[in-house]
Amino acid sequence: MKILEERIKKDGRVLGEDVLKVDNFLNHQVDPQLMQEMGDEFGRLFADEKIDKVLTVESSGIAPAIFAAAALKVPMVFARKKKSITLSAESYIADVYSFTKQETNHVMIDKRFLHEGERVLIIDDFLANGQAVTGLMEIVDAAQAQVVGVGIVIEKTFQKGRAMLDEQGVHVESLARIAAFEDGHVVFAD
């Protein structure tokens, strides 16, 4: 997506080997016009899939997910993160290991908001190692619902997540694909 790539070039900052800071428009301050255009683009990219619900994880997935859900005219549900959990019959829970933070978090969704047979689109801000998406897919499985696609704002193709999802035959669409960081600059795929 051209305007997103332009925005990454203008406002993104490369940190170290493999992190892109985009807190100017996505992860801290949020640009609602850009979010709307991204949501509309997700709507177009997944127009051929019947979708009942958009799923994401708090906190940075929420902004793009809500605009995607608005474009698709379906509800959006975000999984809540918990440091520790007491197992409950009311919630679906998955473990999500963060390579970045080297810690395991739990994500949970109340069973009232995900149902058997529902067709789910997962949206997230970054696809790196794919741990967050994998956790959400486990939850969708546990609910006997179905993942019909994964929409990502910024994919880093050089990390493990994309290849892993492709291997599973998941329909993945990313609005920006980063092939590498070179001397502090972003190199886009294609």
Binding residues for 5-phospho-alpha-D-ribose 1-diphosphate: 128-132
The token pair at 33 is: 């016009």
168 near ligand G4P (CB under 6 A): no
Classify residue 159 by its DSSP letter. S
Instruction: Tell me if residue 133 falls in helix, strand or coil.
Output: helix
The contact mask relative to Na ion for 115-134 (x = CB under 5 A, - = no) is: ----------x---------
From the annotation, which residues make up the binding site?
20, 27, 128-132, 156
Name the residue nearer to Na ion (CB basis): 23 or 144.
23
Sites for ligand G4P among residues 98-127 (CB under 6 A)? 98-100, 125-127
The token pair at 140 is: 């969708």
Query: Phi first, then psi: what are they for 104, rounded to 5°?
Result: -100, 130
Instruction: Tell me if residue 126 falls in helix, strand or coil.
Output: strand
Q: In whole angstroms, how close is the CB of 52 to ligand G4P at the nearest point?
A: 23
Q: Are 73 and 50 in contact (CB under 8 A)?
A: no
Q: What is the C-alpha separation between 176 and 8, in angstroms, rounded?
A: 9
143 near ligand G4P (CB under 6 A): no
Residues engaged in binding ligand G4P (CB under 6 A):
19-22, 27, 57, 59-61, 98-100, 125-132, 161
